[in-house]
Structure 1
Amino acid sequence: MTTTDHGPDGGFRSGFACFVGRPNAGKSTLTNALVGTKVAITSSKPQTTRHTIRGIVHRADGQLILVDTPGLHRPRTLLGQRLNDLVRETWSEVDVVGLCVPADQKVGPGDKFIAAELAKLPRRTPVIGIITKTDLVPQQQVAEQLLALQDVMDFADLIPVSAVDGFQVGALAELLVGKLPFGPPLYPDGELTDEPEATLVAELIREAALEGVRDELPHSIAVVVEEMKPREGRDDLIDVHAELFVERSSQKAIILGHRGERLKQVGTSARKHIEALLGTRIYLDLHVKIAKDWQRDPKQLRRLGF
């Protein structure tokens, strides 16, 4: 455990941390567990996080702002390249980085590729090795994974956690806060994220659309919230109009499903999460549109918010 020495603000520390790792290493779930509410979207499909969503952990001894980045990967498209640039930009601006490696998968070339990139960071940025998903394997395997990870790079600390059963989540928060610079809180108490609500709403719709669809879709879905406003004459209902963009008509058919059944399910699931986020009832109006090959077209990427 890191001991905190007292600084100018009575020992209070504040700063930024980000989790990195292969797609699906449990970064977003860990962010949610630390913040205690759903801010980063989680999905069993890799590459679901597009926006740098910040979760804020308020503690008596510090304030930890978690920046959630897309998984770093070898890019195949312009979108892939932009996501990677975003990752590197984020790394250079945070105070501490956590490299997440799942307990149930061997430390592989993907992890080593990321560690090699992290090794290029200035020495002042500590990197913590985090074994995630420890609830999925026996203790012996967690120990072996820690040893395997230790060989990958020179970490400031190593810690096994499980976001699912809460194992060592508090200890991880303490470890991360201990690596932050001394200073006053950067966000008002009670705030959990600084993302505009429309961005979070779009992400929740995208998450619902990704559930249960075939593997060729994850990269091809973008969601734009066109309008979000209280219904006239009512203070208990918000109208949300959103458009779901795919690249081809075959993908549109997958999203719609037989007689539009699939899109209805997406709407129902997204509405539940959005209502929980906004704390009010919403009416969700969803349309599916085709934006041909948007991932390779700079103009369309800009229009869709990338």
Structure 2
Amino acid sequence: MTVETQVNSIENDIYAFSGAVTIPQAPPDFRSGFIGIIGRPNVGKSTLMNQLVGQKIAITSPVAQTTRNRLRGILTTPTAQLIFVDTPGIHKPHHQLGEVLVKNAKIAIESVDVVLFVVDASVNCGSGDKYIADLVTRSQTPVVLGLNKIDEQAASSRDAIDASYTQLAEEYNWQTVKFSAKNSDGLPQLQDLLISQLAPGPYYYPPDLVTDQPERFIMGELIREQILLLTREEVPHSVAVAIDKVEETPAITRVLATINVERDSQKGILIGKGGIMLKSIGSAAREQIQKLIAGKVYLELFVKVQPKWRQSRTRLAELGYRVEE
């Protein structure tokens, strides 16, 4: 993607998201740019982005490979605007969906100004981390190595774990920063380091915007998050949520959504005996959506079987999963 194409894309996103807007002129010495958050599945990338922008825009789950779409989170300070690009965890794909997700993560590496390579610092550097390290060094993009989950480090193994990542960073001459996305320890230092890596630039988005994604997209993600949390390994990644209709009135917002699964057995699990599971998912998701829109929500969920949708390029496209340009 060229710079001109990327800027045009951003302008289109802003118009689609919030209508015609006026973006102020940046002050002198203002810095801005795109930061790709890269790493293995379940290292805390989405939690980190939510903490940095100060609002929940990306879903989190103990289940790996939660993130599917490339999601932009925007942090604007008096001196800089950082646009974080949350990417799917890089892993060995096992189906067409996995291939699309990993390919999009690799594209993100080439289209950002800085790569924030996030690792799980509660365990030693592993082969998956080394694979990603080799991947990011093939581009000319500057890299910062972020050691997340320092709050989970055991005192007895801390020195050995840190040494394994120090060796990795020294091999590629990367700067490192330790932090906990969960409790925000070290995040100010991370933010300062990232800003120092950015070049002088303009506001790409209005200063009060925290994401370029429309509310409908985030609503679907919040529903999917509750499915992951409540069903865990029973229906982990065979789920795609489509928002069919959003009707807004001064008193309440009505949301109709379809949960797509691959098998009848998964449909049965999601509905549950007497519909209890679907009610639990709907109740929890409704609470999250109400926080998002700051108003009352009526949420109605349907479950539909779409056999092998993760293996079909057509179905993937219909559900919003495409290889990004």
Counterpart-to-counterpart distance in 2, 1:137 and 1:145:
8
Counterpart-to-counterpart distance in 2, 1:142 and 1:274:
39
TM-score (norm 1): 0.92
Aligned partner of 2:302 in structure 1 is: 287
> Is contact 1:56–1:63 with CA below 8 Å preserved after alignment?
yes
Describe the superposition over 1:234-276 as per-residue Cα deviations: whole angstroms up to 9, x where unpaired.
Answer: 4021110000000001111111111111111100111111111
> Is contact 2:124–2:160 with CA below 8 Å preserved after alignment?
no
Aligned partner of 1:246 in structure 2 is: 261
- Which structure has the highest helix share of the two? 2
Deviation, structure 1 residue 36:
0.9
Describe the superposition over 1:109-155 as per-residue Cα deviations: whole angstroms up to 9, x where unpaired.
Answer: 11111111111111xx1111111111112456444323211222414
> Is contact 1:95–1:180 with CA below 8 Å preserved after alignment?
yes
Describe the superposition over 1:4-38 as per-residue Cα deviations: whole angstroms up to 9, x where unpaired.
Answer: xxxx9521100110211110001011111111110
Of 315, 318, 322, which residue of structure 2 is paired with 1:300? Answer: 315
Alpha-carbon distance change, 180 to 143 in structure 1, aligned in 2, over 3 angstroms? farther
| 1:93 and 2:93 correspond | no
| 1:128 and 2:144 correspond | yes
Secondary structure at the aligned position of 2:276 is classed as helix
Amino acid at match of 1:23: P
Counterpart-to-counterpart distance in 2, 1:258 and 1:155:
56
Aligned partner of 1:147 in structure 2 is: 163
Of 269, 276, 282, which residue of structure 1 is paired with 2:284? Answer: 269
Q: Structure 2: state its 5+ residue gaps.
A: 1-25
Describe the superposition over 1:65-122 as per-residue Cα deviations: whole angstroms up to 9, x where unpaired.
Answer: 1110000111111111111111111111111111111122221111111111111111
Secondary structure at the aligned position of 2:172 is classed as coil
> Is contact 1:129–1:155 with CA below 8 Å preserved after alignment?
no
Alpha-carbon distance change, 143 to 158 in structure 1, aligned in 2, over 3 angstroms? farther
| Equivalence map 1:111-260=2 (5 Å) | 111-122=129-140, 125-138=141-154, 141-152=157-168, 153-230=171-248, 234-260=249-275
Amino acid at match of 2:227: A
Deviation, structure 1 residue 299:
1.3
Aligned partner of 2:15 in structure 1 is: none
CA RMSD of aligned residues (A): 1.5
Describe the superposition over 1:211-251 as per-residue Cα deviations: whole angstroms up to 9, x where unpaired.
Answer: 13242522200000011121xxx402111000000000111
Aligned partner of 2:53 in structure 1 is: 35
Alpha-carbon distance change, 274 to 155 in structure 1, aligned in 2, over 3 angstroms? farther
Alpha-carbon distance change, 142 to 15 in structure 1, aligned in 2, over 3 angstroms? farther
Counterpart-to-counterpart distance in 2, 1:130 and 1:82:
25
Q: Structure 1: state its 5+ residue gaps.
A: 1-7
- The number of residues matched between the two structures is 294
> Is contact 2:124–2:165 with CA below 8 Å preserved after alignment?
no
Aligned partner of 1:10 in structure 2 is: 28
> Is contact 1:9–1:183 with CA below 8 Å preserved after alignment?
no
Alpha-carbon distance change, 133 to 21 in structure 1, aligned in 2, over 3 angstroms? same
TM-score (norm 2): 0.87
Aligned partner of 1:3 in structure 2 is: none
Counterpart-to-counterpart distance in 2, 1:253 and 1:143:
48
Aligned partner of 1:49 in structure 2 is: 67
Counterpart-to-counterpart distance in 2, 1:12 and 1:146:
34
Amino acid at match of 1:67: V
Secondary structure at the aligned position of 1:211 is classed as helix
Describe the superposition over 1:268-288 as per-residue Cα deviations: whole angstroms up to 9, x where unpaired.
Answer: 111111111111111101001
Amino acid at match of 1:71: G
Counterpart-to-counterpart distance in 2, 1:214 and 1:165:
24
